[in-house]
Structure 1
Amino acid sequence: MNSSIEPIIYVVDDDEKMRESLLDLFIFAKKRVSVFSSGSEFLEIADTRAPGCVVVDLQMPGSTGLEVQSRLVSMGSDLPVIFLTGEADVSASVTAMKAGATDFITKPFVNQDLLDAVDHAIRVDGERRKLDAGHEQLQDLAGTLTPREQQVMYAVASGLMNKQVAFHLGIAEITVKLHRMSVMRKMHSRSLADLVRKVESLQEASLASDYQALRLQAELLRARNRPLVTGSDTMRLQS
């Protein structure tokens, strides 16, 4: 997502006077705004992938504010949602917050309170998009690794030494070192600590989705406490 795109405030309210009032407020505050008279109109027309936030009336005929929020989630949109309501509905407020609402404002409200809530929502959205962009970049870098390099990366990041990785993967230690060097270069990591942070970021974002790689990582983690069988041990076992 291009960070230069100006965030947009989507106003969704069936009350025409409220829509006009909010439109004037945001225009006066020099913010980009688009208004809709219903949840269905908003969901059909608006670009929910664009940066910004949604200011939506909780109680509307047809699609309620909560239903609009639910639809956004099902569509994969992470747009922050600010609910407006004519009465303090504790139950609806709790439901909205559990579903990820950014704020819940009761009418009548102080204009500055709403502007502050919108600024906060847009800031949160911007930070999330930067984080997502970073995860996408890491995913692209990880995609340049060979299957063996991925195995070595997860194993090294889990704390295993080169000798342990070599044993459990059935390859020579020098081969592990070569793969490790390649991983560091391809992942643009200048230190092991940096590589570990990147691997953790991939895992937290669920970008490390290859089942075999994750299964191997778990096996290697469990193998930490297993004794290594060295060449001399093998000779004793054979004798």
Structure 2
Amino acid sequence: MAAEPMVHVIDDDESARHSLAFLIDCAGLKVRSYESAIEFLKAVPTLDHGCIVTDIRMPEMSGVDLIGRLKALGVTDPIIVITGHADVPLAIQAMKAGVADFIEKPFSDETILAAIRSALARRSDRDQVQAERDQYLDRKATLSQRERDVLEGLVEGRPNKIIAYDLGISARTVEVYRANIMTKMQAGSLSELVRMIMIARLA
């Protein structure tokens, strides 16, 4: 079972940070707060995944610089940027860098909570796809090299006779390999098998 997602709040303004963390906690979500981007980066190696809410203008390291560092570290949690009116160009720059959303101050409780829930939902969908992909890769790893050769032919839509000719084996042998592949991959049909392999190839 997947761990409950964590909302990470990064803001150098202590009052704003505590207020937002309290709001998120009251909404029934797990939350952790940090007073700077530097402090958050130190926590990345043991990060509880979920989403990140960061102010854009902070001392030492801005929200935009933090986003760049997180991308370099391979952190894929969705990021919501909080911005003052004067910082909207920076927020647009952050959007181009791949953040999930930006919220302009002052914002309502409903606005920020809706953005957080939307980001967490996208994260959950991505995790589900990754779990499915990992499952198919694990199944594919159980195939022998010859079964993989036959699988490639099946995915490319080649008939058994053509696969047999290409591999220098009989069509009957291809049928045996094909049955083994379907069993090991737990595929109910050829179309389902092809879908599994297409998803696995996205890894």
Shorter-normalised TM-score: what interval? over 0.9
TM-aligned CA deviation for residue 46 of structure 1: 4.4
5+ long unaligned stretches in structure 1: 207-239
Percent identity over the alignment? 37
2:100 is the alignment partner of 1:106 = no
Deviates more, 1:122-131 or 1:91-100: 91-100
Aligned residue identity for 2:98: G
CA drift at 1:91: 3.5
Deviations 1:11-37 (A, max 9, x none): 001111111111221122222110001
Amino acid at match of 2:103: I
Q: Does 2:171 correspond to 1:173?
A: yes
Specify which of 53, 71, 74 is matched with residue 73 of structure 1.
71
Match of 1:119 in 2: 117
Decide whether the 8 Å contact of 1:88 with 1:106 is kept in 2. Answer: no
Q: Hey, which bits of structure 1, 4+ residues long, moved more than 3 A?
A: 46-49, 88-91
TM-score by length of 1: 0.80
SS at match of 1:34: strand
Does the 8 A contact of 1:138 with 1:202 survive in 2? Answer: yes
> Is 1:14–1:37's contact at 8 Å kept on the other side of the alignment?
yes
Q: Secondary structure at the match of 1:182?
A: helix
Q: Using the alignment, how far apart are the partners of 2:16 and 2:154 within structure 1?
A: 58
Could you list the per-position Cα deviations for residues 152-181 of structure 1 after superposition, in whole angstroms to 9, with x for gaps in the alignment? 112101110001111112222112111111
Q: Where does residue 56 of structure 2 map in the other structure?
A: 58
Structure 2 residues not aligned, in runs of 5+: none
**Partner Cα separation in structure 1 for residue 47 and residue 147 of structure 2:** 34
CA contact (8 A) 2:91 2:102 kept: yes
1:225 equivalent in structure 2: none
- Name the counterpart of 1:24: 22
Query: What is the root-mean-square deviation of aligned Cα atoms in Å?
Result: 1.5
TM-score normalised over the length of structure 2:
0.94
The CA distance in 2 between the partners of 1:48 and 1:82, in whole Å, is 20
Distance of aligned partners of 1:114 and 1:35 in 2 relative to their CA distance in 1, 3 Å threshold: same
Q: What is the match of residue 184 of structure 1?
A: 182
Q: Structure 1 pair 20/100, CA: closer, same or farther in 2 (3 Å)?
A: same
Amino acid at match of 1:51: H
